[in-house]
Amino acid sequence: MRTILATILALQLTASAQQEAPLPRGTVKFETTTRLVIVNVAVNDRQGKPVEGLKASDFTLTEDGQAQRIAVFEYQRLEEESLSPASGLIARGTAAPAAVAPAKQISAPAPGEVKYRNRRLLVLFFDLSGMPVADQIRSRKAALKFVNTQLTASDLVAVMTYSTSLRVLCDFTADRDQLAGAIQSISIGESGTSYGSTGEAGEVDSGAAYTADDSEFNIFNTDRKLVALESAARMLGGLPEKKALVYFASGMTRTGIDNQAQLRSTVNAAIRSNVSLYPVDSGGLVAAAPLGDATQGSQGGQGMYSGASQRSQQSSFQDRQEALYTLAEDTGGKAMLDTNDLAEGIVQAQKSVSSYYILGYYSTNAALDGRYRRIKVQIAKNLAAKLDYRSGYFASKEFRQFNSSDRERQLQEALMLGDPVTDLTIALEVNYFRLARDRYFVPVSVKIPGTDIELARMGGAESTRLDFIGEVRDAGGRLQGTVRDEITVKLKGENAGRLAAHNLNYDTGFTLQPGTYTLKFLARENETGKMGTFETRFAVPNLTARQNRLPTSSVVLSHQREKLSAALASAERDRKLIASNPLVQDGEKLVPSVTRVFLKDQEMYVYLEAYQPAAPATQYMVASVGFYRGKVKAFETAPLQIVEGLNPKTKAVPVRFRVPLAKLEPGRYTCQVSLLSPSARKFAIWRAPVVLLP
């Protein structure tokens, strides 16, 4: 029987949460803040059976090598015998019980209180966003099977869903009828792939699920899924017991604009809240035909003969499961992949939580520095047993009111936190353009929702300042470039209306050699103090060594050209940086879409560069832009013939398109840019997902 690695939950207890009247002059007021850290420890003998009867004096606990006094000690004895199967229509799943009003929150006990003694806490989390109907039916059926036939006397189960928002359908209960009612209340066909709230306490309630300015941040919603999971973990954080969250999802596809910092923030929140994640791939066991099945048209091109299509299909499938595996591995859980018995994933989580001890201590290190604290637990030497527990946690970080003297230090500390701050929504795109054989200009485009900045305006501020700090490191961890900038955004006058309906754009750039890099970028809005971190890996290819294909730059998709002088947020910029940026021409900047979301009444600007390093003059090329829904071509531009434009210094030939989107129906597309050089007998094809809204 596998035991969950015990987890650490850091709870902050304050001396008083109530406002007090001012004290008389001369009175001395003392305040204190203590931090209760909970360590769940599974103690098993050599046969894997739980060891009972231990006392607090049998344990020795240290944090960063410093001995800690155990202030809370409790043993959780969990029964393993299953209850008798439920009978009647509910067990067969052919009729739903009476409707149960959904809970709004998971009820939390008083700080330090163990509310559910000798109980195993399981959460069934259904991620309906993007889940096909067949997977929804399969997941719901598996949950009903578990509830009706596999519950034990120790089990308490809660039910949550995420489609357009995080919902708690049922708080922890052992009532089978209530659980079955909550599960069957999940509407088959609900997907909510486009947008919605995540249940975060700090999220503004706009009164609607959709708002125009931040919809593009929610369309490609991998980060939104992670934020919803983080919100669920924080909601469970008030319970010091172990929690196992079974996450039903149809994979988690990375789109290329996903935030690695958000993944790490979600994992750290789960660790602090004592939650282990058990992802279940609701797609089940998939046997994919090499050239596709009868649900789609046959593939064409050389890929079907060379095996490239099959390799691409397999790679996409593995990428979909990679994030699920990471969530499980980093939180002490286990992913259930490639099986049709989805209920076994719940049983796996159930069996992993066996009897354990709850140890609590008040840390002697009161510093709010955000650093990682290592914990070590030992038992008396005369006891032969195996201990399973989490080996550490990230301390809380407090960013006090800052002044000009320590602003730089605080920004640097926030950037380097192992537990990144993700309160401010950030989308980021990295591109590359060749300057010379071994030198590339790498522009970085950042978008922040106007609604996030508008919070400062609601507070009555006339303007706010945003601080930016970032760094680029190579594969060996060596620093290759930094950025430090600030901009002032006016919150009154004509900018106020623009801010609510637009996003704030910021761009910078680096000059790099070919290689693999990691970019960490942090933004802070100074009126509210909200910060956001974005971390991503990117590669700058060596186009000089690419002999078999036509060398091209990144492809930039945009729907906006903006004069540098009329930007919503402007900063004093490096003239050399602007001169190197091919997206800036004639005093106008092509603003990358970043999220690749467009409106039907907009035009799409497409920009890339093709390189002809040995050509004395422009070699003839033909280019086109197409939009595909699955394997069906929905629209393609007329061929663009390119006969001039070669830059004698960089040997770059610019390729530009203006594509009216009115001819396309709203929906998801694959945008394909094709480029052919007949004289060189080389071609290049670029593809990316885009979304078109009404």
- Residue range 667-694, pLDDT digits in tens: 889 999 999 999 888 999 999 888 888 8
CA distance from start to end of the chain: 53
Looking at 114-128, 451-465, 593-607, which range is the least confident one?
451-465
3-class DSSP state of 312: helix
State the pLDDT at residue 597.
Answer: 87
State the pLDDT at residue 348.
Answer: 84
Interval 303-320 mean pLDDT? 56
Q: Which residues contact 344 (CB under 8 A, 6 or more apart)?
A: 336
Q: Which residues contact 673 (CB under 8 A, 6 or more apart)?
A: 555, 606, 608, 623, 624, 625, 685, 686, 687
251 conformational bin, left if phi > 0, alpha if psi -120 to 50, beta if neither = left
DSSP state of 369: B
pLDDT category at 124 given cuts 50, 70, 90 is very high
Q: What is the Cα Rg of the chain in Å?
A: 28
Read out DSSP for 421-440? -B-S--EEEE--EEEETTEE
If one compares 468 and 394, the residue with the highest pLDDT of the two is 468
pLDDT digit string (tens) for 234-271? 889 888 888 999 999 887 766 555 677 888 888 888 88
380 conformational bin, left if phi > 0, alpha if psi -120 to 50, beta if neither = beta
If one compares 614 and 368, the residue with the highest pLDDT of the two is 614
If one compares 492 and 378, the residue with the highest pLDDT of the two is 378
State the pLDDT at residue 91.
Answer: 39
325, 520, 330, 331: which is closest to 422 by C-alpha? 520
Looking at 109-113, 411-415, 586-590, which range is the least confident one?
109-113
pLDDT category at 662 given cuts 50, 70, 90 is very high
Give the dihedral of Cα atoms 378, 383, 384, 385; nearest 10 deg. -50
State the pLDDT at residue 287.
Answer: 56
CA distance 655 to 62: 62
pLDDT category at 324 given cuts 50, 70, 90 is confident
Looking at 100-104, 318-322, 431-435, which range is the least confident one?
100-104
User: Quick check: 12 pLDDT over 60?
Assistant: no
Highest averaged pLDDT of the listed ranges 70-84, 105-119, 153-167, 641-655? 641-655
pLDDT category at 108 given cuts 50, 70, 90 is confident
At residue 660, φ and ψ (nearest 5 deg) are: -70, 135
State the pLDDT at residue 257.
Answer: 58
User: Quick check: 467 pLDDT over 70?
Assistant: yes
- Owner of token pair 């999971």: 229
Contacts 24+ apart (CB under 8 A), 13-22: 13/111, 13/112
58, 221, 56: which is closest to 127 by C-alpha? 221
Kindly list the structural domains of the chain, giving each domain's residue range(s) and its CATH number in brackets, ordered by start. Answer: 8-77+358-394 (no CATH), 89-106+115-342 (3.40.50.410), 407-556+563-589 (2.60.40.10), 596-694 (2.60.40.10)
Strand partners of residue 72: 360
pLDDT category at 520 given cuts 50, 70, 90 is very high
pTM of the model: 0.71
CA distance 692 to 694: 7
With pLDDT > 70 as the criterion, what percentage of the chain qualifies? 74
CA dist list (Å): 637 to 609, 641, 661:
18, 12, 11
CA distance 61 to 69: 8
Strand 640-642, strand 70-76: pairing? unpaired
State the pLDDT at residue 334.
Answer: 87
How many CB atoms sit inside 10 A of residue 75's CB?
A: 16
Looking at 239-243, 305-309, 333-337, which range is the least confident one?
305-309
Which amino acid is present at 336?
A: M
pLDDT category at 302 given cuts 50, 70, 90 is low
pLDDT digit string (tens) for 432-464? 999 988 899 999 998 888 777 765 565 566 677
Interval 140-164 mean pLDDT? 90
If one compares 645 and 562, the residue with the highest pLDDT of the two is 645
pLDDT category at 7 given cuts 50, 70, 90 is very low
State the pLDDT at residue 109.
Answer: 79
Contact 245, 123 (CB under 8 A): yes
Q: Which residues contact 426 (CB under 8 A, 6 or more apart)?
A: 259, 446, 447, 448, 521, 523, 532, 533, 534
State the pLDDT at residue 180.
Answer: 92
If one compares 412 and 492, the residue with the highest pLDDT of the two is 412
State the pLDDT at residue 463.
Answer: 74
- Count of CA atoms in the C-beta half-sphere (13 A) of 329: 8
Interval 34-45 mean pLDDT? 83
User: Quick check: 146 pLDDT over 80?
Assistant: yes
User: Quick check: 157 pLDDT over 90?
Assistant: yes
State the pLDDT at residue 218.
Answer: 57
Contact 474, 517 (CB under 8 A): yes
Interval 20-49 mean pLDDT? 64
CA distance 604 to 627: 12
- Owner of token pair 């994933």: 345
State the pLDDT at residue 501.
Answer: 62
Average per-residue pLDDT in the chain? 78
